């Protein structure tokens, strides 16, 4: 046994230009950013305001930033896959199997766990406490730990680009392929530890938000007065609490197989790989609802705001959300109808799968009736929402098709399936995230995003989506299976070329999105949101200044009905004055804490050491992590005080602006 | 065939799907699951199309209604009535819950009947089927004809019009056995035996593949299925008996190594080989030889 375990110089792919160049570029960019930040003297600011921040708004923004960066990484993988398949007719293309396999594995892992999840959780972090009318989440430091553990996972996935290799067995490590015999490299270990560490972060987020939503709402905010997004966040977090331990346990079993010679899923000694399929999908299916339910919540907020109407059939929507939440746990077997479980079992799971569509269908109609009788403004968030509505419905349809066992017997694992899940995740989750980011951006940063570039990004994404994925549906009908590195069937070529063209259109959309951000930052004075309520919003986040102060609300709002802030505005317009301000008091807010960052530092060390079997380093990491916990647990002063004068100063400014906006500057 | 030509052909077919005129498969679309060459594929296809049309009946109006409502109630349309307080209607909620529920009831019936009628383990008819044993290996398919006592690698020859009864297992990792034009896929898994009943009604050469990723050589793991008249099948068997080696224990061990290969046949098979594999009496596939962590080339590629 050597000092560095399995780690040697041969782990660095000196002989392979693509990963090496990619890694070099990434490292140059990271170093460049670090140097720039240091030279500019921003390190103390970043450390105090962001890295050690326990403010849910800052953590939410960091989550979204991480998600967007990883979305780009995952998209680059996608471009490589589409171009490889476009070139690989009777040819090896430009990516040999051992690279191509890593790329599709990384693409799936990154897009679901390190792009979509951080984006959704980031929006939840930023929005939920504001919508509930509270000052922070239930456990602010734990929230910071969650974020940094997620970042650790993302870091480990990216380290695998340079040191060693990533998993080559797909985004879910199905044994026996993922067992030591068939995957002796460190790829699967990178996957396991990255997902385990970030999964613990996600579980903590679930616990944090369920507690926040159940226990810390503003006075008067009963369950049936919560905005729809909070309901969907609650449902998603309940799913996280129920499903993520299953993932942790399943991956732990695979880890035991690989590290300690256990036989849970091996071919030998009575292992049963089929059990892995059951367990991983018992997490995996709820996982997609963890992503899509908050997306539905975002669309509900956006459609209602931009139609200038309350959400239609709110109670029905709540029931539909909880219905989906429950049924999503009863359908996992539809991922492997083709294992031959028999007519009864397949039929029951097939029908359960289509039953979920009832809940989604109800939502679709309620959004439709929300628009009915409204005054619809087609701002960027609304465009994303409409694009979602007309697109998602057919994505749901192809999903139900795959849920009909005899149809699945023809389509299982085909390009039709690939098209289906991109259909619902891209037109569902990614469109929602884009709508949500555009919608809440002014709240977070105090200025709106540029409309023109935003609309261009939407149209490229919308058209690009169809051009990319409709050909994949057709390829499914032509019998093409997923994950092929090369192929010999001439009928597939035109569709693969068309799909690659679609990816290029999507790339234009991504470029527009980046340009939009740059243009908006440059024109931020023209786009400034002075009122704190740029869209004529209806829920409590719009009652705060943009960006909101650390404490969110000077006084916890008293909620009297479903549309808390709309109600306040209406009353102010009727009574020609704002509600009288209650006397201000000192506020206690949680102190910043480096716990999350330090935890993540040690988690990275532990993960890396475990991947490469460097046991002494792992022990050091564990000691460090334990010491961090002890220091945090025995801290003396968990909170600091914001003086009543400071609160009064910030709140009076906000009230003056509201007065101006709502009542045209009349004195109250 | 020029790519644009293919696109034109397939566009016609896509149109055909939309209008439901799929009774006659279009030329140039030969390998589609929508142009089945046997009863199982045809049964699967009917369920697929039925389910699609049942759902389209409600999906298309909903999409059109969404677009129409969004357009009519645009803020700039002064003729549209603004009803900011219209937020609930019990009657509409009833309809909103019933429409998808009724569709799912209907679809649930299709699912229930289809799942039972097209269960892959179900024999197709009372006629005596041809037995074929399938072993998925890294990265090739082994087909054993126990009644004829021959075996074939990466080439499946079957008689037209005869029910085929497959028993499948895997020597190493999971794979899915799939001949798109004959219908239903089924997993091949180590330590387990799955079954599949198919039948080819038309002579032809049908593309077959693995539909579950199985490692670096996965893309090479396809085979041709050649459906021929009974007499020709007998001829092929006779020919296979006359050449090649015998698939015994030692020959099987060579197959356990990771490799890709062109089709060939064995003139005989050791009795009970399939059961020995399925019951794990023989060792599993070897996997990659070196534990280097660095990417490895696939054995056999380019040979």
Residues of B in contact with A346 (CB under 8 A): 115, 119
pLDDT in tens, B179-222: 999 989 999 999 899 999 999 999 999 999 999 999 888 998 99
Q: Within B73-195, where are the H helices?
A: 90-117
Residues of B in contact with A181 (CB under 8 A): 284, 286-287
pLDDT in tens, A143-190: 999 999 999 999 999 888 888 888 999 999 999 999 988 988 899 999
- Of the residues A81, A221, A371, A382, which is catalytic? A81
Q: Which two tokens stand for residue A602?
A: 């040690």
Give the position of tokens 């040979």: B303
Kindly report the number of other CB atoms within 10 A of residue A138's CB atom: 18
pLDDT in tens, A335-394: 999 988 888 899 999 999 989 989 999 999 999 999 999 999 999 999 999 999 999 999
Task: Report residues of chain A scoring pLDDT below 50.
Answer: 668
- Quick one: which of B292, B156, B301 has its CA closest to B224? B156
Residue contact B44–A170, C-beta within 8 A:
no
Shortest CA distance from A13: residue in chain B = B294
**A556 DSSP 8-state letter:** P
Distance between CA A528 and CA A200 in Å, rounded? 38
Smallest Cα distance from B162 to chain A, Å: 21
| Residue from the list A358, A394, A410 with its beta carbon closest to the beta carbon of B100 | A358
> What percentage of chain B reaches a pLDDT higher than 90?
45
Please report which confidence band the pLDDT of residue B14 belongs to, taking 50, 70 and 90 as the band edges.
low
- Looking at residues B8-16, what average pLDDT do you find? 50
Please report which confidence band the pLDDT of residue B295 belongs to, taking 50, 70 and 90 as the band edges.
very low
Distance between CA B251 and CA A581 in Å, rounded? 88
Coil/strand/helix, residue B269: strand
Distance between CA B131 and CA B166 in Å, rounded? 6
Which pLDDT score is estimated for A568?
86
Which pLDDT score is estimated for B9?
52
The kind and range of the H/E element at B144 are strand B140-145
Residue contact B81–A373, C-beta within 8 A:
yes
Residue contact B185–A338, C-beta within 8 A:
yes
- Quick one: which of B93, B94, B74 has its CA closest to B82? B74
| Residue A502 vs residues A83, A396, A619, B10: alpha-carbon distances, Å | 11, 21, 49, 17
Residue contact A99–B295, C-beta within 8 A:
yes
- End-to-end CA distance of chain A: give it in Å, rounded: 78
| Residue from the list A184, A372, A411 with its beta carbon closest to the beta carbon of B288 | A184
Please report which confidence band the pLDDT of residue B19 belongs to, taking 50, 70 and 90 as the band edges.
very low
Shortest CA distance from B118: residue in chain A = A406
Q: Which two tokens stand for residue A512?
A: 């527009």
Residues of B in contact with A414 (CB under 8 A): 211
Handedness of CA A190, A193, A195, A198 (dihedral sign): negative
Which pLDDT score is estimated for A631?
87
**Disruptive mutation site among A479, A488, A492 for chain B (greatest number of B CBs within 10 Å):** A479
The kind and range of the H/E element at B208 are strand B204-210
pLDDT in tens, A647-667: 899 888 888 888 888 877 555
- End-to-end CA distance of chain B: give it in Å, rounded: 27
Distance between CA B247 and CA B270 in Å, rounded? 6
Q: Which two tokens stand for residue A181?
A: 């015999």
Q: Phi and psi for A328 in degrees, rounded to 5?
A: -60, -15
A77 noted as active-site residue: yes
Are B88 and A312 in contact by the 8 Å Cβ rule? The answer is yes
Which pLDDT score is estimated for B292?
44
- Of the residues A255, A300, A353, A380, which is catalytic? A300
- Quick one: which of A282, A595, A492 has its CA closest to B28? A492
Give the position of tokens 């160049």: A21
Which pLDDT score is estimated for B30?
55
Smallest Cα distance from A319 to chain B, Å: 11
Which pLDDT score is estimated for B244?
86
| Residue from the list A169, A268, A310 with its beta carbon closest to the beta carbon of B87 | A310
Q: Which two tokens stand for residue A492?
A: 């597939």
Distance between CA B255 and CA B214 in Å, rounded? 16
A63 noted as active-site residue: yes
| Residue from the list B101, B174, B216 with its beta carbon closest to the beta carbon of A101 | B216
A48 noted as active-site residue: no
- Of the residues A56, A82, A135, A285, which is catalytic? A285
Predicted confidence (pLDDT) at residue B256 exceeds the cutoff of 70: yes
- Of the residues A287, A408, A450, A533, which is catalytic? A287
Kindly report the number of other CB atoms within 10 A of residue A454's CB atom: 25
Q: Which residues of B34-73 are buried (b: 16+ CB within 10 A; e: fewer)?
A: bbbbbbbbebbbbbbbbbbebbeebbeebbeebeebbeeb
Residue contact B96–A410, C-beta within 8 A:
no
What strand order describes the sheet that includes B130-137? B194-198, B164-170, B130-137, B140-145, B150-153, B264-266
Which pLDDT score is estimated for A529?
87
Distance between CA A420 and CA A399 in Å, rounded? 6
Residue contact A474–B14, C-beta within 8 A:
yes
Predicted confidence (pLDDT) at residue B296 exceeds the cutoff of 80: no
Which long-range contacts (C-beta less than 8 Å, at least 24 apart) are formed by A43-49? A48/A592
Which pLDDT score is estimated for A657?
86
φ/ψ region of A544 (left if φ > 0, alpha if ψ in -120 to 50, else beta) reads beta
Distance between CA B300 and CA B303 in Å, rounded? 6
pTM given for the model: 0.90
Distance between CA B136 and CA B168 in Å, rounded? 8
φ/ψ region of B179 (left if φ > 0, alpha if ψ in -120 to 50, else beta) reads beta
Shortest CA distance from B177: residue in chain A = A338
pLDDT in tens, B35-92: 888 999 888 988 888 889 888 988 999 999 999 999 999 988 889 889 888 888 889 8
Distance between CA A289 and CA A302 in Å, rounded? 20
Residue contact B6–A489, C-beta within 8 A:
no
Residue A447 CB-half CA count within 13 A = 16
A375 noted as active-site residue: no
Predicted confidence (pLDDT) at residue B4 exceeds the cutoff of 50: no
Residue contact A481–B211, C-beta within 8 A:
yes
Please report which confidence band the pLDDT of residue B135 belongs to, taking 50, 70 and 90 as the band edges.
very high
Residue contact B189–A98, C-beta within 8 A:
no
Which pLDDT score is estimated for B54?
86
Q: Which two tokens stand for residue A640?
A: 């600091």
Are A116 and A291 in contact by the 8 Å Cβ rule? The answer is yes
pLDDT in tens, A394-424: 999 999 999 999 999 999 999 999 999 999 9
């Amino acid at each position: 046994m050597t000092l560095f375990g399995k780690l040697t110089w041969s782990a660095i792919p000196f002989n392979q230009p693509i990963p090496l160049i990619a890694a070099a570029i990434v490292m140059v960019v990271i170093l460049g950013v670090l140097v720039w930040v240091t030279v500019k003297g921003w390190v103390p600011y970043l450390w105090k305001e962001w890295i050690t921040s326990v403010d849910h708004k800052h953590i939410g923004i960091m989550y979204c930033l991480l998600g967007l960066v990883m979305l780009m990484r995952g998209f680059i993988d996608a471009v490589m896959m589409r171009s490889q398949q476009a070139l690989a007719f009777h040819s090896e293309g430009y990516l040999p199997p051992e690279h191509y396999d890593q790329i599709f594995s990384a693409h799936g892992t990154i897009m679901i766990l390190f792009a979509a999840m951080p984006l959704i959780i980031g929006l939840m972090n930023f929005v939920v406490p504001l919508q509930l009318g509270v000052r922070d989440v239930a456990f602010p430091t734990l929230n910071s730990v969650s974020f940094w553990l997620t970042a650790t996972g993302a870091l480990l996935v990216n380290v695998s680009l340079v040191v060693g290799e990533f998993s080559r067995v797909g985004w879910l490590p199905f044994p026996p392929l993922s067992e030591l015999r068939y995957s002796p490299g460190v790829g699967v270990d990178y996957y396991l530890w990255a997902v385990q560490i970030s999964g613990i972060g996600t579980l903590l987020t679930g616990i944090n938000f369920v507690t926040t939503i159940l226990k810390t709402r503003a006075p008067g905010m009963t369950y049936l007065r919560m905005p729809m997004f909070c309901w969907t966040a609650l449902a998603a977090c309940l799913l996280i609490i129920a499903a993520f331990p299953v993932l942790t346990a399943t991956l732990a079993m695979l880890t035991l197989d690989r590290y300690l010679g256990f036989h849970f899923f091996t071919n030998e000694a009575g292992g049963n790989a089929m059990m892995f399929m059951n367990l991983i999908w018992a997490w995996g299916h709820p996982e997609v609802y963890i992503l899509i339910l908050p997306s539905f919540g975002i669309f509900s907020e956006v459609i209602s705001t931009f139609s200038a109407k309350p959400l239609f059939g709110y109670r029905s929507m709540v029931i539909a959300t909880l219905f989906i939440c429950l049924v999503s746990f009863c359908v996992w077997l539809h991922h492997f109808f083709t294992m031959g479980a028999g007519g009864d079992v397949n039929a029951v799971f097939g029908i359960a799968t289509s039953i979920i569509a009832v809940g989604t269908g109800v939502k679709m109609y309620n959004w439709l009736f929300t628009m009915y009788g409204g005054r619809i403004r087609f701002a960027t968030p609304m465009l994303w929402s409409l694009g979602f509505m007309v697109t998602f419905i057919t994505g749901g349809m192809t999903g139900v098709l795959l849920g009909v066992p005899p149809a699945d017997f023809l389509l299982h694992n085909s390009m039709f399936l690939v098209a289906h899940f991109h259909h619902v995740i891209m037109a569902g989750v990614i469109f929602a995230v884009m709508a949500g980011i555009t919608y809440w951006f002014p709240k977070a940063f105090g200025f709106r995003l540029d409309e023109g570039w935003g609309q261009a990004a939407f149209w490229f994404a919308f058209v690009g989506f169809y051009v990319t994925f409709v050909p994949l549906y057709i390829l499914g009908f032509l019998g093409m299976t997923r994950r092929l590195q090369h192929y010999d069937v001439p009928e597939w070529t035109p569709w693969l070329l068309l799909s690659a063209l679609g990816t290029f259109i999507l790339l234009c959309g991504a470029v527009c999105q980046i340009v939009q951000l740059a243009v908006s930052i440059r024109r931020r004075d023209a786009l400034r949101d002075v009122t704190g309520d740029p869209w004529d919003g209806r829920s409590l986040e719009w009652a705060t200044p943009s960006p909101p102060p650390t404490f969110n609300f000077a006084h916890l709002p008293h909620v009297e009905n479903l549309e808390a802030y709309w109600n306040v505005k209406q009353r102010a317009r009727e009574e020609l004055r704002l509600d009288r301000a209650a006397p201000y008091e000192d506020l206690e807010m949680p102190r910043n804490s480096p716990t999350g960052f330090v935890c993540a530092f040690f988690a990275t060390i532990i993960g890396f050491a475990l991947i490469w079997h460097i046991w002494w380093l792992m022990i050091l990491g564990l000691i460090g992590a334990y010491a961090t916990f002890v220091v945090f647990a025995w801290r003396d002063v968990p909170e600091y005080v914001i003086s009543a004068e400071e609160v009064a100063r910030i709140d009076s400014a906000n009230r003056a602006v509201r007065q101006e906006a709502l009542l045209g500057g009349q004195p109250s | 065939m020029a790519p644009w030509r293919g696109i034109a052909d397939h566009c016609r077919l896509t149109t055909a799907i939309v209008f439901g005129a799929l009774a006659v498969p279009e030329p140039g679309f030969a390998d589609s699951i929508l142009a089945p060459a046997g009863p199982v594929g045809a049964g699967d296809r009917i369920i697929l199309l039925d389910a699609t049309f049942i759902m389209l009946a409600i999906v298309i109006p909903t999409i059109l209604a969404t677009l129409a409502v969004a357009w009519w109630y645009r803020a700039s349309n002064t003729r549209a009535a603004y009803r900011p307080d219209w937020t609930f209607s019990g009657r509409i909620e009833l309809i909103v819950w019933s429409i998808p529920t009724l569709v799912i009831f209907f679809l649930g019936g299709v699912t229930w009947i289809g799942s039972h009628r097209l269960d892959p383990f179900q024999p197709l008819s009372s006629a005596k089927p041809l037995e074929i044993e399938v072993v998925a290996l890294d990265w090739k398919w082994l087909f054993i004809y126990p009644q004829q006592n021959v075996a074939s690698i990466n080439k499946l020859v079957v008689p037209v019009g005869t029910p085929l009864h497959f028993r499948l297992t895997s020597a190493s990792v999971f794979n899915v056995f799939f001949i798109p034009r004959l219908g239903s896929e089924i997993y091949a898994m180590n330590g387990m035996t799955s079954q599949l009943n198919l039948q080819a009604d038309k002579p032809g050469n049908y593309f077959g593949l693995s539909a579950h990723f199985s490692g670096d050589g996965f893309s090479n793991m396809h085979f041709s299925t050649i459906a021929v008249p009974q007499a020709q099948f007998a001829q092929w068997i006779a020919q296979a008996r006359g050449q090649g080696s015998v698939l015994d224990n030692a020959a099987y061990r060579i197959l356990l190594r990771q490799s890709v290969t062109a089709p060939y046949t064995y003139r005989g098979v050791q009795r009970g080989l399939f059961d020995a594999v399925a019951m794990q009496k023989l060792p599993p596939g070897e996997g990659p030889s070196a534990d280097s962590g660095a990417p490895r080339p696939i054995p056999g590629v380019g040979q």
